[in-house]
Amino acid sequence: MQALLKDIAAVVGPGNVLTGNDVTQRQVDWMSGASCRAGAIIRPGTTAELAAVMRLCHAARQPVVTHGGLTGLVHGGEAAPDELVISLERMNAIESIDPVGGTLTVLAGTPLQRVQEAAAEHGLQFALDLGARGSCTIGGNIATNAGGVRVIRYGMMRQQVLGLEAVLADGTVVSSMNRMLKNNAGYDLKQLFIGSEGTLGIVTRAVLRLHPRMASERTALVACPDFDGVAGLLAHLGRELGGSLGTFEVMWRNHYALLTEESGRNTPPLPPRWPYYAIVESLGSDDSANTAQLSAALESALEAGLIEDAVLAQSDAQRQGIWNIREDIEGLIQHLAPLFTFDVSLPIPDMPGYAAELERAVQQRWPQGRIVVFGHLGDGNLHVTVSVGDGEPATRRAVEQIVYAPLAELGGSVSAEHGIGLEKRDYLALSRTPEEIALMHTLKRALDPLKLLNRDKVLAAEE
């Protein structure tokens, strides 16, 4: 490996080949704090440099793991001592913005929040939004097909990407930097890389779709008497608000109560006495009209018995206070560690039964165990946290069986938005057919026959 690193240093510069303590002091998992174990970290500054590095790695049959913001939760950034990490941290520039066409061209290592801020400077918005916005990168968002809190209105990351550029395992640069909404000229090759978690190619640049920035963003927290009220409220707001409904996030009482009264970490705008709480956001071009429309929709929902109470944020501070309850992952870790986190999707009508059976199964095996549930209910995505008293690998496998096994019968998915990585690889067959998995292997063999890119991630090694 030393000879290869010397050749790579000639491409990217000696200061951009990190070894020793410069590698191990980096974390690859923010939740566990695990350190990087790679043989070295390579930091190319351009697509041309990355392509040259990959040509060298391909010739040496050297496997690599790509690093973005390292905010993933499925161990996709883990690297063994015989692997090299390709970090895109130096490729972090916004190249151009087209306010008329509504596009932004950006390098893959750029943090999501910088893209959001750049769009806002032109009176536009980049629709993807998630809690890790300050750390996660556009390349990582693309590689994992990130979701977040506004999927119900704008869709996943896949819907925000018009074009991209990627470097293949052998150093070939595939540039499909389309800037148009309509382009039916042959295969849509960018889709090969979106959501492939770096196993088919390394995304280096992208053309992102922008939307008009909404002048009004009104946020409400509501309490529902039962899950029928939650589902009914979602349908009701869809009718009453139409395209203005931007967010519909739900917290089970076990999440809401823990992060407010039980822990004292957040002030509850509503008392934690009801079984479900929803964060609703309406986006509009006129604040007065938007506020009136949301208020009227909530009043009629109250009259219909869909909600028990509601509070409409009157300031940015109040809005942030509501969102802090939803996004207080640090609080979950502090009060439930050791814990196991899951990101699943399933049909909305099946959610209450699934969550109740999961809690029963956990407490039957671990009487002291508890679960916490919240999620992007509007798009069928739940985040489940399970705490049973220890974090041993054998315990995790037992908990995984309880969480994942019911999803196959329900037609759900073991991963709604976090990807597969290493953590969920062995459960992929619960959500994909043998024919689908076989086709995935075919794509992997075609684009990375030497299995150099994020090896053993997503797909298990073929026998």
**pLDDT tens per residue across span 286-309:** 999 999 999 999 999 999 999 999
| pLDDT the model gives residue 122 | 96
| pLDDT the model gives residue 242 | 84
Query: Domain residues of the chain, as ranges?
Result: 2-87, 94-212, 216-329, 337-430
Same fold, 216-329 and 337-430: yes
> What is d(CA 13, CA 210) in angstroms, rounded to the nearest whole number?
35
The DSSP output letter for 234 is H
Sign of the dihedral through C-alpha 242, 350, 253, 400: negative
Residue 187 has pLDDT above 70, yes or no: yes
| pLDDT the model gives residue 34 | 84
Average pLDDT, rounded, for the chain: 95
Looking up tokens 């040496």, which residue turns up?
60
Mean pLDDT for the stretch of residues 415-435:
95
> What is d(CA 153, CA 246) in angstroms, rounded to the nearest whole number?
5
CATH of domain 2-87: 3.30.43.10
| pLDDT the model gives residue 459 | 95
Q: Which CATH class is domain 337-430?
A: alpha beta
pLDDT tens per residue across span 346-357? 999 999 999 999
Question: Cβ–Cβ contacts within 10 Å for residue 287, how many?
Answer: 13
> What is d(CA 239, CA 349) in angstroms, rounded to the nearest whole number?
19
| pLDDT the model gives residue 236 | 97
Instruction: Tell me the C-alpha to C-alpha distance, in Å, between residue 134 and each of 70, 171, 267, 300.
Output: 12, 30, 24, 38
Claim: this prediction has a pTM higher than 0.85: yes
Mean pLDDT for the stretch of residues 35-52:
97
Residue 33 has pLDDT above 90, yes or no: no
Question: Cβ–Cβ contacts within 10 Å for residue 250, how many?
Answer: 28
CATH of the structural domain 216-329, one choice from 3.30.70.2190, 3.30.70.1520, 3.40.50.1950, 1.10.260.40: 3.30.70.2190
Structure tokens at 107: 């390098």
CATH of domain 94-212: 3.30.465.10
Greatest distance between any 2 Cα atoms in the chain: 73
Structure tokens at 26: 């980096």
| pLDDT the model gives residue 463 | 60
Structure tokens at 39: 């043989």
Residue 30 has pLDDT above 80, yes or no: no
pLDDT tens per residue across span 224-281? 999 999 999 999 999 999 889 999 999 999 999 999 999 999 999 999 999 999 999 9
Structure tokens at 227: 């899950």
Residue 86 has pLDDT above 90, yes or no: yes
> What is d(CA 443, CA 463) in angstroms, rounded to the nearest whole number?
16
Residue 31 has pLDDT above 80, yes or no: no
| pLDDT the model gives residue 52 | 98
| pLDDT the model gives residue 27 | 85
Residue 382 has pLDDT above 80, yes or no: yes
> What is d(CA 317, CA 324) in angstroms, rounded to the nearest whole number?
10
